[in-house]
Amino acid sequence: MSLTSAIATNTCSVPSAAQLGRVVAPLYHARTAITGHRAALITAPAPAPAPAEACAPSNPGQSPRPRYHSTINLARPAGTFPIRLNNIFAQKAPSAPGRYFSTTSVSRLRDFFPSHETKYIRQTPPAWPHHGYSEDEMHKVAPAHREPKSFGDWAAWKLIRFCRWGMDKATGLKPDQQSDKSKPTTAVVASKPLTEAQWLVRFVFLESIAGVPGMVAGMLRHLRSLRRMKRDNGWIETLLEESFNERMHLLTFMKMCEPGWFMKTMIIGAQGVFFNALFFSYLISPKICHRFVGYLEEEAVHTYTRCIGEIEQGLLPKWSDPNFEIPELAVQYWHMPEGKRTMRDLIYYIRADEAVHRGVNHTLGNLNYKEDPNPFVSDYKTEATGHKPNAVTKGTGYEREEVIG
């Protein structure tokens, strides 16, 4: 009997089972994490309706919905994060309203942030609606690398190399899962694929970090503008939008997995260190910080490109399964059209976002941060001659002469 079923049996109430499950789950993962066994993949049809559902049906009179789910209980091999992944494959009942993932209490356990119903508010739209991409733009994105040209560039690049090394170690990447190390952000072929669990661990950790720089830089530029009583020229909005966009990436992946206590601790620790380090670094050299983020985004584009390749080669069968549904949150945020809502499609959108961050930050790293306007939100006198930049396809960023003149 699963942990959640056991809870449900004893509480006989879906909400209380879910609530209790949230409290107990980290302890459960902690127990499995210390066994040191390798990942155990359990894929099986869901059993008959859980006792909790029988006691308190959410839709009285409605027949049980056919469903199955696969749960990956990932005990921690040496040097990796424990993470529980609930990849829910749900088959919709014809009469079911809207989209859902599962009616089992397992999926309730998984939903960290259900929408909060209030008496008057219908919905809260995102502060920065996504601008969207054309298919062509998304498919043109490619891994790229900007060669360091100054000592600051070199330092930022070496720091990112160190972070990538730590990430590979922490997620338990084997030598045969590594791509060509001499081309770390452009080589996307390895002799062995990552598992879905390994990918999600990398995505969650990467996104929890990637959402920090835009907020720090935007905040500091905001304070600088107040303090010096000067215009900012459009940088703040782009930086805050970047951090918002990264957070949407994180929330999307959080709908697919539940990190264990060890990973949560690592994320909190990493955020504490990263935020403060970046805060002081940005005060000293915004240029180097934007270059650092540009290199971080090179890594992100590389990561998602490799993942897309593995999905398209059929190496990640769970995500290629036609019954796999991506979160509704993602469908709404990226305005994903019907028929284009697979995990592969989702990763294409996210990779395009990362490509924008890469191009924007490499470009901002080339500008005079005190005076230059943000070219990505500016109207150009010479738009017809092609000076207006498009970051998504400019992997190494624009030089100052190209966009400021």
How many residues interact with Fe ion (rule CB under 5 A)? Answer: 8
For 10, 81, 136, 194, 401, the CA distances from 198, given in Å and listed in that order, are: 33, 9, 29, 6, 42
Residue 225: phi and psi, rounded to 5, are: -65, -40
Nearer of residues 76 and 357 to Fe ion, judged by Cβ: 357
The window from 61-69, 116-124, 225-233, 350-358 that contacts Fe ion (CB under 5 A) reads 350-358
As measured in angstroms, the least distance from the Cβ of 202 to Fe ion is 11
Nearer Cβ to Fe ion (69/357): 357
Q: From 61-69, 104-112, 123-131, 210-218, give the range in contact with Fe ion by CB under 5 A.
A: 210-218
Asked if 354 touches Fe ion (CB under 5 A), the answer is: yes
Q: Which stretch binds Fe ion (CB under 5 A): 146-154, 192-200, 206-214, 392-400?
A: 206-214
Binding to Fe ion, residues 109-138 (CB under 5 A): none
Q: Is 23:7 a contact under the CB 8 Å cutoff?
A: no
Only one of the segments 11-19, 249-257, 262-270, 275-283 lies at the binding site for Fe ion (rule: CB under 5 A); that segment is 249-257
**Which position has the token pair 């070496």?**
158
In DSSP terms, 171 is beta-bridged to 80
Question: CA separation (Å) from 39 to 89, 123, 195?
Answer: 20, 39, 10
Paired residues of 86 in beta bridges:
71
Stretch that binds Fe ion, among 22-30, 80-88, 133-141, 294-302 (CB under 5 A): 294-302
Q: Which of 42, 39, 38 is nearest to 70 (CA)?
A: 42
249 lines the binding site for Fe ion (CB under 5 A): yes
Nearer to Fe ion, 207 or 325 (CB): 207
Choose between 53 and 298: whose C-beta lies nearer to Fe ion.
298
CA 30, CA 227: separation in Å to the nearest integer? 47
Which secondary-structure segment (H or E) carries 28? Answer: helix 14-33
Residues 255, 357, 362, 394: which binds Fe ion (CB under 5 A)?
357
Per CB under 5 A, 290 contacts Fe ion: no
Pseudo-torsion of CA 333, 355, 363, 386, nearest 10°?
-90
Is residue 243 within 8 Å of 357, Cβ to Cβ?
A: no
Interface with Fe ion (CB under 5 A): 207, 210, 246, 249, 297, 300, 354, 357
